[in-house]
Structure 1
Amino acid sequence: MNAADLATDGGAGGDVLAVVDHRRGDLRDVSFELITAGSELAEALGGELHLAVVSGDVERFAEELDRPGVAAIHTVTDGEEFDHGVYQQAVEALDADLSPAAIVMPNSVNGLDYAPAVAEALDLPLVTDAVDFSYDGGLSVTREMYGSKVETTVDVAGDRFALTIRGGEWPAAEGTGDAAIEPFDLEIDEAALGARVQGFEEVGGGDVDISEAEVLVSVGRGIEEEENLDLVRDLADALGATLSSSRPIVDNGWLPKNRQVGQSGKVVTPKVYIAVGISGAVQHVAGMKGSETIVAINTDPNAPIFDIADYGIVGDLFDVVPELIEEFEG
């Protein structure tokens, strides 16, 4: 969606506060997508975009987030990893200081943890999992339902609101800006926290994060047997790619949950996504349609995956994949 598609007449002007996401010392891709979405909304509202960076290496994060369209980046120094109570207090304090018309958060595990609490505390209407929005004197948010088979539009009443955006739906902001980086002095109310995050531990799958991979080779039920996974692994190795899968592979116990792409898995936006033996069910497509280039290999020329693929190979994966491995290794 382009900012020009958002009508600015008739709305109450106001700033936008977008809360970025990070984990294990790195900003998540959705943080840069938040800048794009937040900039569009701020332009429609006639205000400015402010970013909130809470916890972690806030100074480095702020420098990385300085993009055109960002007026100011507010940093809150407290801890290294996400902590529900800290985020809630930080966002509420920033809201009191900035009085934004909108608070935009990621529709991630972290974002969905604190967003409802913030909306409740500030008495704001909250719309989650936005894939698009428009503004014409009032906010209309597009969401998807029934495994992305149906689009719905939610009209939001009031001049102030909160929403979470789905990763992969907006392009990542690029370029270098001149935002003011402003440390925000916040004294956390420890008594109100109730609990504190003491550390971070990866569970089930080590340090592999498919959502950060630039090249993914994803395998589906067309692989037929677990022992045939080695063939797709060889292709991933030849490409220097990360191995991922559709839900049936995880349901069969052939790969861990952290490798699953899709609505019930992870949303990914790699530069290259190679779908091997994946038909293209809507639940899977919802998790990878934001990939820059999609290559599909399937025996069925009518498979839905070809509808979104940039390149398609109609053929038996057991014939096609070995030839690809030979080509890339050569």
Structure 2
Amino acid sequence: MSDILAVAEHRRGELRDVSFELVTAGRELADATGGDLHVAIISGDLNDFAEQLKVEGVDTIHTVADGEEFNHDVYAQAVTQLYDAIAPQVLLMPNSVNGLDYAPAVANRLDLPYVSDVIGMELGDDTLTATREMYGGKVETATDVPAEHVAVSIRSAEWPMTEETGDAAVESFDVDLDEDLIRSTVTGFEEVGAGDVDISEADVLVSVGRGIEEEENLDLVRDLADALDATLSSSRPIVDAGWLPKNRQVGQSGKVVTPDVYIAIGISGAVQHVAGMKGADTIVAINTDPNAPIYDIADYGIVDDLFDVVPALIEQFS
């Protein structure tokens, strides 16, 4: 029997969705090892975070009190000491901006093999097989690492979130921080390119691609978004053309989104774009090409001219 340790993530007072995806991934591994799933939450409103993390599958939640926001030097020390105390077989971290900041440092300190940007895992007797994507998502590769002890960071939106309430124990963990190793100070938070909205928080997204043809035609899609009380997003060509700001881009080089409904208008479905939205609950595609890759993952498809379909939808929902 071997335990699993997952490190939850929060930002600006809110737990990120990847925290609950880590629980799902961690529980799968813990079931394979016959051990317990430990979840660590570092800094912030620990009482509130711990209550939210009491979901099905978590055995113990470890809280580390230090500051409000992420600090690389604190996380590196805290996660290292948690690992030493719990001795898990697998250390799970998010493949996020913050996760990629401290995960390599922790793996280096602990002399652990480290696999990043993982989208799938299978744990055998001696080997952990991690699935990753290469060449812009065109190829999936299997990476085998010794399963005795390993560090992994998982890509968001690849595992479902665990939300059913559980009864995990909550334990405070005291970290012996070496102040000489804390060389950075958090002075504030600024979301680069955040702009006016955060599309990753939207429940309904109306997303537009190169099929819109001209910038002035964006008004038609905006009208549909307004009719649906949705948020407007786009594929990369629209941003590259300067028609919408970077914060509206969905995809591998944009944002990963998991809305309840994702409406893809004039989007062919390149792998880079699909990587950012395939976690949506319901995907609706509108495209004139019946062979467009977007239809491979769409729940509903309308093979027709968007300039005929979108006005009809606006009339229907207005």
The 3-state SS of whatever aligns with 2:97 is: coil
* Counterpart residue type for residue 316 of structure 1: D
Aligned position for 1:53: 41
The 3-state SS of whatever aligns with 2:59 is: strand
Aligned position for 1:92: 80
CA distance in 2, matches of 1:50, 1:300: 48
Percent of pairs with identical residues = 71
User: How big is the shift at 1:187?
Assistant: 4.0
Is 1:175 aligned to residue 164 of structure 2?
yes
Residues 205, 256 of structure 1: 8 Å contact kept: no
Is 1:309 aligned to residue 310 of structure 2?
no
Is 1:21 aligned to residue 9 of structure 2?
yes
Is 1:36 aligned to residue 24 of structure 2?
yes
Is 1:244 aligned to residue 225 of structure 2?
no
Is 1:320 aligned to residue 313 of structure 2?
no
Residues 123, 147 of structure 2: 8 Å contact kept: no
Aligned position for 1:191: 180
The 3-state SS of whatever aligns with 1:315 is: coil
Is 1:69 aligned to residue 67 of structure 2?
no
Match of 2:95 among 107, 115, 118: 107
User: How big is the shift at 1:279?
Assistant: 0.4
Aligned position for 1:260: 249
What CA RMSD, in Å, does the superposition of the two structures yield over aligned residues? 1.2
The 3-state SS of whatever aligns with 2:311 is: helix
* Counterpart residue type for residue 95 of structure 1: Y
Aligned position for 2:107: 119
Which ranges of structure 1 fall in alignment gaps of 5 or more residues?
Answer: 1-12
Aligned position for 2:212: 223
* Counterpart residue type for residue 70 of structure 2: F
- C-alpha offsets along residues 150-206 of structure 1, whole Å, 9 cap, x if unaligned? 111111125000001111111111211110111111243221021111110233233
CA distance in 1, matches of 2:68, 2:195: 20
Match of 2:130 among 141, 153, 156: 141
* Counterpart residue type for residue 248 of structure 1: P
The 3-state SS of whatever aligns with 2:232 is: strand
Which runs of at least 4 in structure 1 moved beyond 4 Å after TM superposition? none
The 3-state SS of whatever aligns with 1:156 is: strand
CA distance in 2, matches of 1:235, 1:169: 29
Aligned position for 2:68: 80
CA distance in 1, matches of 2:144, 2:191: 39
The 3-state SS of whatever aligns with 1:254 is: coil
CA distance in 2, matches of 1:100, 1:192: 24
Residues 272, 293 of structure 1: 8 Å contact kept: yes
* Counterpart residue type for residue 238 of structure 1: A
CA distance in 2, matches of 1:220, 1:175: 36
Q: With structure 2 as the length reference, what TM-score do the two structures score? A: 0.97
* Counterpart residue type for residue 21 of structure 1: E
Aligned position for 1:4: none
Aligned position for 2:288: 299
CA distance in 1, matches of 2:231, 2:222: 9
CA distance in 2, matches of 1:205, 1:154: 34
Residues 89, 147 of structure 2: 8 Å contact kept: no
* Counterpart residue type for residue 306 of structure 2: L
Q: How does 1:251-290 map to 2 (within 5 A)?
A: 251-290=240-279
CA distance in 2, matches of 1:158, 1:168: 24
* Counterpart residue type for residue 237 of structure 1: D
Residues 67, 173 of structure 1: 8 Å contact kept: yes
- C-alpha offsets along residues 33-79 of structure 1, whole Å, 9 cap, x if unaligned? 10000000111122100001011111101101111111111111112
Residues 195, 247 of structure 2: 8 Å contact kept: no
* Counterpart residue type for residue 126 of structure 1: Y
